[in-house]
Amino acid sequence: MKCYVPGPNVKVLGRTIHALARFGDELYLESLVDCLRLRTLNTAESAYAMVKFNKNFFSYFNYNYNTNGDNEGPRCKISMKSALNTFKSPAHMDKQVENLEIKLELDQCKLIFQFKCKHGIIKTHYVSILDSKVTQAVYTKDLVPNRVTSSQRILSEAISNFQSSDDQVTLEALSNSILLRNYIDDNIDLSKIIRTQINIKAEEFDSYTVGEETAVTFTMKEFKALLTFAEALGLPIQIQFETTGKPIVFIVHNGTTLEAHFVLATTKPDVYTQASTIQKSSRVERNKRKDSNNLLESASKKPHLDEDISKCLDEDSHLFNFVDIPNDEAPTNNCDNSVNVNNNLVDFKDCDNIPASPTSKTMIKSLFKKCFESTFDPRSTQDVVLALNSDSE
């Protein structure tokens, strides 16, 4: 197999290699009559990616060069790390590389990448072949009930709202919108996590067909990788899926030279956890409303409580029995700043002669205790002074 990639397309090939590197650790290369396919599979076998480059992607394409007579064309498996070392800076390759030659020599167990750069510089990379087999994923994309076409910008902006620690995302397809939310495991404390949910209306998509409402959960890492790939090429994304347990397929293509399929396994979403969260939130709201109603009810009952207390106080009339005190022994007012205390004349100007405050607490307690007795007579304490008048200054 031998082919030549023109300079502008080398950048696309490099971005493809970097996108596939986020899926798997091994790269499968297969040469057919009319195209070249690149495949990869993650270690958990839950994510598969395939990118097909048609013949018009190359300036020269010969799939049967140096083969052993296999009608299906040459194929091989190489390390993804070696492929990344070959395409280190794909963003600037179109400015540096004029042409790329890819040659597969199965008899020598090596794959050759030869970059012809500007100013006559030639860079050659020899990559060892690990195996001559190619993996193939089995999935259906033609007879699925749910088909959605979206620009990569909408999905990228929606995913940017999720936390970096979110490993999986749940896509729920409804008749008029799509819900994207982070997947929460049953064993995680819901009070210590952040729930994120994005609602995208059907009008936001280029095309929207949902024949069967369903919810599927898939990995976030591979989803972000395919969004980055579509963003780099500026191409829309077609989403095709069935129900829970069936794979979801993301297709990116430009119609003539390139077509990429990203297949992600789906699992059952955590419906119980989400339902319990909703029920918990509803229960909290009900408790808040109940507390608010109790507060209003207690406030409305307060006047009745005041009336009951007033009634009781009226019945306990001895608390408010005022007795007139005769003025026979009332203290006289003197204009010379003196007052009669215990029949003794004390001058306020003489600070040294001001008696100290009483220190006996027993007398104070007994006095206030007697005030609430039904036989209490205020005239019995008229000669007892517990707190003297202080200096007016």
pLDDT digit string, tens, across residues 161-219? 998 888 899 999 999 999 999 887 766 666 777 888 999 999 999 999 999 999 999 99
Residue type, 264: L
What does the pLDDT read at residue 366?
Answer: 60
- Average pLDDT, stretch 47-75? 79
Question: Which carries the bigger pLDDT value, residue 191 or residue 49?
Answer: 49
- The least confident of 6-10, 94-98, 329-333 is 329-333
Q: CATH for 141-253+261-269?
A: 3.70.10.10
Contacts of 22 (CB under 8 A, 6+ apart): 221, 222, 224, 225
Domain-wise residue ranges, the chain: 1-137, 141-253+261-269, 282-315, 323-381
Q: What is the pLDDT of residue 183?
A: 85
Question: What CATH architecture does domain 1-137 belong to?
Answer: Box (3.70)
Q: What is the mean predicted confidence (pLDDT) over 274-290?
A: 46
* 253-257, 271-275, 276-280, 341-345: which is most confident: 253-257
pLDDT in tens, 290-313: 555 554 454 444 444 445 444 444
Mean pLDDT of the chain: 76
User: Do the two domains 1-137 and 141-253+261-269 of this chain adopt the same fold?
Assistant: yes
Higher pLDDT, 112 or 345: 112
Q: How far apart are CA 129 and CA 79, in angstroms?
A: 8
Asked whether the beta carbons of 86 and 113 are under 8 A apart, the reply is yes
